[in-house]
Structure 1
Amino acid sequence: MHNTAIFLIEFGAIILGLGILGRFAGRLRFSPIPLYLLAGLAFGEGGILPLGASEEFVAIGAEIGVILLLLMLGLEYTASDLVTNLKTHYPAGLVDCALNALPGAAAALLLGWGPVAAVVLAGVTWISSSGVIAKVLGDLGRLGNRETPVILSILVLEDLAMAVYLPIVTALLAGVSLATGSVTLAIALGAAGAVLFVAVRYGRVISRFVSSDDPEKLLLVVLGLTLLVAGLAQQLQVSAAVGAFLVGIALSGEVAEGTHTLLSPLRDLFAAVFFVFFGLHTDPASIPPVLLPALALALTTAATKIASGYWAAKRAGIGAKGRWRAGGTLVARGEFSIVIAGLAVAAGLEPELGPLATAYVLILVLLGPLTARYTEPLAQRLTRRRPLDVGASDTPQPAGTVSGPGERRSL
């Protein structure tokens, strides 16, 4: 009874604290992710007041948070959108991967962490934060801008790449042999391909089966199906997150919209718990030694992300102003960088990787909204002696005309 009381007090205090931090971040109009990470640092190993009774429950909540993040991500897209996006925009995705993953891999090798850590850190520096970027686009009133579909296309390709990348990382961290790892990757690719095929051909049938006019029944069926598939995927060493992502893709139409509405509060709750959990397992004293490498890596990959966004927008025929806005908007890293780093921390890969990833995300989640706002005017000042491109238009489209891949994304 005493332990139950302590658990309720601790967990209740965590949720209440997260709510207050979220409201504070909302008033200042920036992402609450850094505040959640700082809260975890304050109450974790070496923090002000380490938790005791509730830590195991927080760990389970963090697992659910990752699953819901990927499920909701899958709900944002239709299978046909993903296929079209792959065919049309894969060159931009390849450039984005090369420019932003290589600095992370190089940094890990320079720090002497080895090839597995290099693959992990490459993912941390590669994937932009969909959540932060979506909020920034809305706050700046850029939903109708001509460069916005380009930004969304890159985010879609990064999200889709997660379905391939996460099984690779999971296999590497598990220390399996090359043959076993190849089988795991083949299973993941086969599952992803099968789900895309079924979703394109029979998506309406699946949605009708899951659909219900009763929100309670819809919530129970979708959540139960997601956890079941995620667990089976984890059992096959494919990654629970990938399983949840594929479930989201398979659902479409009114079912996807209804599920998104019902699960959004749960996603936000458990995602916040996930960020706290990551912070709980990072000793604050371990961050200062890696702060300079994290800052150097953040500045480097901010520049490479701006370059990749600029190139993608130029390829799409966007004018110079829109190119700079596209690049600056993509700088923020956040939830999925922490997800990737969390896998490495859980596997005990490299003690300094978790602190470096925490510092890296803290820097870029704060810097991202600033680069989104100021990259274009700063570039204008630096190039004011040279006329900007006049062949491509930067005129915003009317609100609500954003189309193409990713149009189901919540902005």
Structure 2
Amino acid sequence: MDVELPTLLGAGLVLLLIFWLGLLSLKIKIPSVILYILLGILLADALHENEILHFSSEVGIVLLFFLLGLEFNVNRLGGIAKKIWPAGLMDVALSLGVSMLLCLAFGMDLFTSFLIGGVTYATSSSITAKLLDDTGRMANSETEFILALLIFEDLVAPIVVAIIMGMSSGESFQTTDLLLLLSKIIVLALGAIILGKTVFKHFEKLLNKIEDEDFKIALLVGIALSYGGLALLLGLSEVLGAFLAGMMLAEIGKIERVEQTVHPIKDLMLPMFFVYFGTSIEFDQGIPYAGLLIALLGWSLLAKLLVGMIGGRMFGLSKRVSFRAGLSICARGEFSVVIAAMASGLIKVFSGMYIVIAAFIGMMLFERAPQLTNLVYGKPQKKKKNLKVPGSS
């Protein structure tokens, strides 16, 4: 006789397992995101209908993009765009566009091809940033380029999510539908900018007056969820709405006060999103579309390498440093999971397998990037200093 776990007990056990996997990820140096997805796959039968897990995952992903939006005020967005846009557009064309064409060549329909192209597009910001820090490469000359490219992807990916949601409405997606969708995105973005410059102009003073942390949490999380929900009401993605909600508050003087309040809630809820995604993946039917999977893995790694090598040069890096940058941006992660979560059936299984494999390969390439660069370009020669001997002319 099967025993059904109470919803609350299931959620509590998941939190305990998340704690243990978090410690394990530090010891074996594997991103916790991958372990959380694998946990969801293993516990799929027990947790797939868990309402608390589902709701927590929604809140977690909304708060992730809300905090991401806090980093982008209008002036900063303009500064980043001026320097990184050539490499960023190349990244869109190669990582999303060509991957989409590959899917069409393998017989996929337009919507599925675009969705899979979205899955293969964005480098994992969390994995890449953590590896940069763990390996002591934050001060390297390619790091500014890598971070700028991640920011560009962070801006494009929510729009990709919104377009996929529009295309998945079930009706034929025409040019007018795309224009309407883009119009909604523009209106929502302009609304965020206007609110940021007017209603939230003196928001920092209000935060200073709120001494009770509970009230502050309710206010900030409420703003994030409300604007995310407004995006859903307009037929867009809650991810895009949450990102724009963060942008609304990015104009205040010290965003650290907002981050300090929201971060603990996000850190608690976000692992639930990856676990819940794992519960939706079923491997009963083996490896779907194995040929396409191999082709996409090969191309997506090559595409990021080309973006690093060519885009890095346009950014002003040397050939050597550009090559090392390309090897360091191959891991896929959170954005890919967000997009894959909108798939169903075999496409979701396919996307899940791609993400896990691409994340592992990307991590390996990142850690071995300096050695592989030395193998291709030789070890860098240390510049000799001309030392003058006393008494010499």
Tell me which interval the TM-score lies in, with the shorter structure as reference length: 0.7 to 0.9
* 1:78 Cα deviation from its structure 2 partner: 2.5
For residues 293-304 of structure 1, the aligned pairs below 5 Å read 293-304=292-303
Q: Distance in 1 between matches of 2:318 and 2:113?
A: 36
Q: Which moved more, 1:372-381 or 1:131-140?
A: 372-381
Whether the 8 Å CA contact 1:163–1:188 is kept in 2: the answer is no
Query: Partners in 2 of 1:34 and 1:304 — Cα distance?
Result: 22
Distance 1:91 1:292, change over 3 A: same
Q: 1:321 to 1:135 in 2, by over 3 A?
A: same
Given that residues 65 and 242 in structure 2 are in contact (C-alpha distance below 8 angstroms), is that contact kept between their aligned partners in structure 1? yes
Q: Choose from 95, 99, 107 the match for 1:100.
A: 95
User: Residue 328 of structure 1 contacts residue 373 of structure 1 at CA under 8 Å; is this kept in 2?
Assistant: no
Report the 3-state secondary structure (helix = DSSP H, G, I; strand = E; otherwise coil) of the residue aligned with 1:331.
coil
1:242 CA drift (Å): 0.7
**Superposition deviation, residue 175 in structure 1:** 2.9
Where in structure 2 are the equivalents of 1:128-277 lying within 5 Å? 128-176=123-171, 177-178=173-174, 179-196=176-193, 199=196, 204-210=201-207, 212-252=210-250, 253=252, 255-277=254-276
Deviates more, 1:221-230 or 1:110-119: 110-119
Unaligned runs of 5+ in 1: 346-350, 394-411
What do the CA deviations read for 1:318-371 (whole angstroms, capped 9, x no partner)? 2233212211221110011010111223xxxxx221111111111121122221
Once the 2 structures are TM-superposed, how far is the Cα of residue 194 of structure 1 from its aligned partner? 4.2
Q: How far apart are 1:292 and its partner, in Å?
A: 5.2
Relative to structure 1, the CA distance from residue 145 to residue 78 in structure 2 (aligned partners, 3 Å threshold; closer, same or farther) is: farther
Quote the offset at 1:315 in angstroms.
Answer: 1.5
Residue in 1 that maps onto 2:19? 19
- Partner-residue secondary structure (3-state), 1:284: coil
**1:139: how far off?**
0.6
The answer to whether structure 1 residue 361 and structure 2 residue 358 are counterparts is no
| 1:224 Cα deviation after fit | 0.6
Deviation at 1:16, TM superposition (A): 0.8
- Over 3 Å counting, the alpha-carbon distance change for 1:80 and 1:280 in structure 2 is same
Task: Map Cα deviations across residues 197-237 of structure 1 (whole Å, 9 max, x no partner).
Answer: 65468864344445544433322111011111111110111
**Aligned equivalents of 1:104, 1:58: Cα separation in 2:** 32
Provide the aligned length of Structure 1 versus Structure 2.
Answer: 377
Match of 1:375 among 348, 369, 377: 369
**Counterpart position of 1:330:** 329
Map 1:114-133 → 2, pairs under 5 A: 114-133=109-128
C-alpha distance in 1 between matches for 2:268 and 2:105? 37
Is this contact kept in 2: 1:132–1:332, CA < 8 A?
yes
- Displacement of 1:7 in angstroms is 1.9
Distance 2:106 2:44 in 1: 26
One-letter amino acid matched to 2:153: E
Among all aligned residue pairs of Structure 1 and Structure 2, give the percentage whose two residues are the same amino acid: 27
**Equivalent residues of 1:286, 1:355 under 8 A apart:** no
Bigger mean CA offset, 74-83 vs 189-198:
189-198
CA distance in 1, matches of 2:296, 2:381: 31
Contact 1:320/1:388 (<8 A) preserved: no
Q: 1:249 to 1:117 in 2, by over 3 A?
A: same
Partners in 1 of 2:81 and 2:50 — Cα distance? 41
CA RMSD of aligned residues (A): 2.6
The answer as to whether partners of 1:321 and 1:376 remain within 8 angstroms in 2 is no
* Alpha-carbon contact 1:44-1:280 (below 8 Å) kept: yes
Pair 1:63-2:58 in alignment: yes
CA distance in 2, matches of 1:73, 1:114: 32
What's 2:307 paired with?
308
* Letter in structure 1 aligned against 2:318: G
Larger displacement relative to structure 2 (150-159 or 198-207): 198-207
Preserved contact between residue 101 and residue 113 of structure 2 (Cα < 8 Å): yes
C-alpha distance in structure 2 between counterparts of 1:305 and 1:73, whole Å: 23
Matches within 5 A, 1:14-93: 14-45=14-45, 50-51=46-47, 55-93=50-88
2:242 counterpart letter in structure 1: A
Amino acid paired to 2:100: A
CA distance in 1, matches of 2:95, 2:375: 26
Tell me the CA shift for residue 264 of structure 1.
2.1
User: Normalising to structure 2: TM-score of the pair?
Assistant: 0.88
Gaps of 5+ in 2: 384-393
Contact 1:287 1:359 in 2 (8 A): no
**Cα separation, 2, equivalents of 1:258 and 1:291:** 48
* Inter-partner Cα distance in structure 1 for 2:194 and 2:370: 41
1:121-141 alpha-carbon deviations (Å, 9 max, x no partner): 111111111111110110111
